[in-house]
Amino acid sequence: MKQVLSILFLIIVIAQFQVFTVGCANIIPPMGGPKDSLPPLLMRATPHDSTRDFTGKKIVFEFDEFIAQPDNLQENLLVSPVPKSTPIVTSKLRTLTVAIKDTLEENTTYSINFGNAIKDINEGNILKDFTYVFSTGSTIDSLTVSGKVIIAETGKTDSTLIAVLHRNTDDSAVIKERPRYVAKTDREGHFIFRNLPPATYALYVFKDEGGQRKYMNKGQLFAFSDSLVNTTDNKTFTLYAYTEKEEEKKDNKSKSPTPAINRPSATKGGAVVQDKRLKIETNLANQELDLLGNLEISFKTAPLKFFDSSKVQFTNEKYEPITAYRFTLDTSKQKLTLEHKWEANTAYNLIVDKEFAEDTLGHKLLRSDTLQFRTKKESEYGLVRLRFLNLDLSKNPVLQFVQADQVKYSHVFTDRNFSAKLFVPGEYDLRILYDANKNGVWDPGEFFGKHIQPERVLPVPRKLTIKANWDNEIDITL
């Protein structure tokens, strides 16, 4: 009997210990087994989705698994119509709660899109574009407006833009007021507004800065529709985004210091002597000059006060004078170009007197010096022949050769062919600029007042690889 009582007592103690440890334990996900790759699944919404005559201040979502606290809500959460105050979103275990701060408008359909904010707590699986819709009236609006935005200068798309609809159709609304409706672009540049009422709006697309939902400055990507949007028209829109050009900055990345005429500053008694040398850089690479360009000399400290070409000698390898050349100084008076009909694989000398130039700060060369360089060989270039089989010449097309988003070369078409005996080897993206004003370069749009759309660029759907000392002949269909 005593033994039975002892066993019974032990069972009771173990049971109580298990209850105690379960009550105090942290929630630990099960170990082992296949990795969870599924996003959270909505089990119940209170009130239910598409509720009509909504009067509440809180919406509760219950999921089939524990969810993380939503982050980046400013980036992810889209509420339409746009409220003055963003709802407060919190999560606890399997429940997500939305607390509405604003007074809701009567007879209005609202949608809440969570973007990528909802994910499970263990694996971070995202419930993408989860949307909840309700109406404060007796009906749910169901009209849509869709479209696509293309970056006008490149022909590419951008998934970080927002499209907005303004009920106020004045131009100033996009900079002064928050929009009525907001949608995001996807990786293909598409956007769609859902649950719209019958109405007319102005349509814009731009890169949002700081969640302001406004066109804040000319540096933002921006696009506008030429026509107003009537939600009953079932029309798809294509917009072309641009940034207005800022004052062009000089790009000196390709410039290399020229040792022969760019001497270091001196010191005296441990103190630095004021540097009065004229600082010069050139566009030479390893003392070699591109056959397709000219020698460029840049003055880095200040614009030139004067330049005396009589104090410069241009010679061949044997120091015999060359006469067929000319110097040009650009409008900034900081770049000097030596133009000449260059011979391939040929050495040249540029002999400069220390008095040949002075900038506006009084800087001169410390002494006379010589710049020695050689042109590249023809075998270092490739031959290119391109035929564009269906090019529309009526749109003033310009062929652009692009590397790292920079236009390296361009060609104005007179027919559907392009050929070059010498072309710098490398891999290029090709683009066709439709040059409306025939100035040879891409021009952005202008919204306020004139409503001028940007010039459009069509990317060629293949890369061009040019090999040195090789014939590169290709037919291209746009």
Residue 419 sits at φ, ψ, to 5 deg, of -145, 145
What is 143-241's CATH number?
Answer: 2.60.40.1120
In 3-state terms, what secondary structure has residue 2? helix
Predicted confidence (pLDDT) at residue 256 exceeds the cutoff of 50: no
Do the first three CATH levels of 42-135 and 380-476 match, i.e. the same topology?
yes
pTM for the structure as a whole: 0.77
Sort 278 into a burial class: Cβ within 10 Å, 0-12 / 13-18 / 19+: buried
Q: In 3-state terms, what secondary structure has residue 445?
A: coil
Q: What is the arithmetic mean of pLDDT over 103-111?
A: 96
Q: Provide, rounded to the nearest whole percent, the portion of the chain with pLDDT above 90.
A: 76
With beta carbons less than 8 A apart as the criterion, state whether 365 and 261 touch.
Answer: yes
Give the per-residue pLDDT at 22.
42
pLDDT for 262-306, tens place per residue? 444 444 444 444 567 888 999 999 999 999 999 999 998 899 999
The 10s digit of each residue's pLDDT in 314-373 is 999 999 999 999 999 999 999 999 999 999 999 999 999 999 999 999 999 999 999 999
On the 0-12 / 13-18 / 19+ scale of CB atoms within 10 A, 306 is: exposed
Task: Look at residue 276 in the predicted model and tell me its pLDDT.
Answer: 76
CATH architecture classification, 256-264+274-376: Sandwich (2.60)
Q: Alpha carbon 376 to chain centroid distance?
A: 35
User: Is 387 a residue whose pLDDT tops 60?
Assistant: yes
Tell me what pLDDT residue 71 has: 78
Whether the predicted pLDDT of 440 surpasses 60: yes
Q: Hunting for tokens 């000392």 — which residue is that? A: 469
pLDDT of 9 higher than 90: no
* Spatial CB neighbours of 457, under 8 Å, sequence gap ≥ 6: 152, 153, 154, 155, 400, 431, 432, 433, 434, 442
Q: For the chain, which residues make up each domain, given as ranges? A: 42-135, 143-241, 256-264+274-376, 380-476
Tell me how far apart the alpha carbons of residues 279 and 445 are, in angstroms, rounded to a whole number. 39
Across 417-446, average pLDDT: 95
Nearest to 182 by CA among 79, 259, 108, 274: 79
The residue that leads in pLDDT, 472 or 427, is: 427
Which CATH number, 2.60.40.10, 3.30.365.10, 2.60.40.1220, 3.40.960.10, labels domain 42-135? 2.60.40.1220
Question: Which stretch of 57-66, 182-191, 261-270, 433-442 has the lowest confidence by average pLDDT?
Answer: 261-270
CATH of 380-476, one of 3.40.50.720, 3.30.70.20, 3.40.50.10490, 2.60.40.1120: 2.60.40.1120
